[in-house]
């Protein structure tokens, strides 16, 4: 990966807070060929993390939500901040970990006055302090006012990192500047988001397709007591190696995952329950990134959502993302060499 020297954003006066990341609060059971073949991607920050903040910005305790696989906003505040002032923070894990895909979530409150664009950089301390000038920005986002925006990037190759730096342009509110960010999700595989997916549902296609919108003015979909069946058309037969589900807070949801087989028959894949705690705040939810050790080979995936009246008469999902594995460049090169060798043998 090419190196790019980053312009210094703010002179740092770091403060540290040690927290422990979590995995999502969920249970999942695979059926048939998927029994024992479904796993949640490990959270590289579960062993502890140290945060650093730009000078005079506060809110370090709230940053832990970024790494708990929650969608609760982490907020930084600075009195007297200039409009669109760049604020940054870093998060460093206890040990290095592989990253092939980066997913971020950011919701900018409609009561603010400006967008909050961001840049995210992955770094590796190599046993010392991270020299951020040695690493490229891997993901940017517009931070669109009044929108919830999800961003996905597949790295050129799986890299080893132990930290990230997130720089966000603040928005003024009253006499202070504010920075909001919801989630940084780092997955070990190189994954490509399936695009062109459409959805229909027993409760209306507009609701179903709201589960597939990476940019949205609302927070996704939620419903009442009626069970819901959502059918996703993948646009032809695809290889699904991972699915990321995003839930609401205080609205637990259960659903069965099915796919259509080659003969058009429905095949049970898994049953998933996403929980909440009684003390959870309604502004959040959980993210569940699942890796399928046996890929789902299909053109259609179905979710059957049940028990929707579990809490407050409402439940639902905020987003569903389907991914396929992307081979490493070295693997592709070897396949190409192997193909050339076969052609030479034929000659």
Query: Exposed, middle or buried, 143 (CB in 10 Å: 0-12/13-18/19+)?
Result: buried
Q: What is the pTM of this model?
A: 0.87
pLDDT score recorded for residue 1: 39
More confident residue, 313 or 131: 131
- Per-residue pLDDT at 2 exceeds 60: no
pLDDT in tens, 238-274: 999 999 998 876 667 889 999 999 999 999 999 998 8
More confident residue, 202 or 97: 97
* First vs last C-alpha separation in the chain: 38
Alpha carbon distance 61, 122 (integer Å): 21
- Per-residue pLDDT at 186 exceeds 50: yes
CATH 2.60.120.260 domain residues, the chain: 18-22+44-190, 193-325
pLDDT score recorded for residue 122: 98
pLDDT score recorded for residue 311: 47
Name residues whose C-beta falls within 8 Å of residue 207's C-beta, 6 or more positions apart in sequence. 201, 221, 223
DSSP string, 57-89: -B-GGGGGGGGTTB-PPEEEEEETPPTT-EEEE
pLDDT score recorded for residue 227: 78
Name residues whose C-beta falls within 8 Å of residue 271's C-beta, 6 or more positions apart in sequence. 28, 29, 31, 254, 255, 256, 257
Query: Exposed, middle or buried, 161 (CB in 10 Å: 0-12/13-18/19+)?
Result: buried
More confident residue, 153 or 6: 153
Which of 89, 54, 86 is closest to 74 using CA atoms?
A: 89
Q: Give the whole-number percent of the chain exceeding pLDDT 70.
A: 78
Mean pLDDT computed over 198-222:
78
pLDDT score recorded for residue 18: 36
Confidence of residue 73 (pLDDT cuts 50, 70, 90): confident
Q: How far is CA 280 from CA 15, 236, 252, 346, in A?
A: 27, 39, 11, 64
- Per-residue pLDDT at 344 exceeds 60: no
pLDDT in tens, 278-320: 555 545 678 899 999 999 999 999 999 876 655 444 556 888 9
Name the architecture of domain 193-325. Sandwich (2.60)
Mean pLDDT check: name the lowest of 220-229, 230-239, 276-285, 338-347.
338-347
Query: Exposed, middle or buried, 344 (CB in 10 Å: 0-12/13-18/19+)?
Result: exposed
CATH 2.60.120.260 fits 18-22+44-190, yes or no: yes
């Amino acid at each position: 990966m090419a190196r790019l020297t980053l312009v210094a954003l703010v002179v740092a006066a770091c403060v540290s807070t040690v927290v422990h990341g979590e995995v999502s609060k969920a249970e999942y059971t695979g059926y048939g060929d998927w029994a024992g073949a479904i796993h949640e991607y490990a959270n590289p920050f579960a062993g502890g993390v140290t945060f650093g903040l730009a000078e005079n910005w506060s809110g370090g305790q709230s940053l832990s939500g970024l790494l708990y696989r929650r969608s609760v906003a982490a907020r930084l505040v600075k009195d007297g901040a200039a409009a669109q002032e760049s604020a940054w923070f870093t998060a460093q894990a206890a040990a290095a970990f592989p990253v092939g895909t980066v997913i971020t979530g950011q919701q900018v409150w409609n009561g603010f006055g400006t967008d909050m664009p961001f840049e995210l950089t992955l770094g590796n301390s190599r046993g010392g302090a991270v020299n951020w000038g040695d690493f490229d920005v891997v993901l940017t986002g517009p931070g669109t006012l009044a929108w919830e925006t999800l961003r996905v990037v597949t790295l050129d190759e799986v890299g080893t990192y132990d930290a990230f730096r997130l720089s966000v342009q603040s928005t003024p509110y009253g006499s202070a500047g504010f920075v909001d960010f919801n989630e940084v999700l780092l997955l070990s595989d190189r994954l490509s988001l399936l695009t062109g997916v459409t959805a229909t549902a027993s409760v209306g296609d507009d609701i179903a397709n709201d589960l597939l919108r990476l940019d949205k003015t609302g927070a996704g979909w939620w419903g009442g007591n009626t069970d819901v069946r959502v059918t996703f058309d993948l646009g032809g037969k695809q290889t699904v190696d991972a699915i990321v589900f995003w839930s609401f807070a205080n609205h637990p949801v259960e659903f069965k995952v099915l796919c259509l087989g080659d003969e058009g028959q429905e095949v049970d894949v898994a049953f998933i329950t996403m929980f909440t705690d009684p003390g959870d705040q309604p502004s959040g939810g959980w993210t569940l990134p699942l890796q399928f050790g046996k890929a789902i080979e299909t053109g259609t995936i179905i979710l059957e959502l049940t028990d929707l009246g579990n809490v407050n008469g409402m439940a639902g999902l905020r987003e569903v993302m389907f991914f396929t594995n992307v081979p490493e460049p070295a693997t592709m090169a070897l396949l190409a060499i192997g193909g050339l060798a076969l052609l030479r043998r034929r000659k």
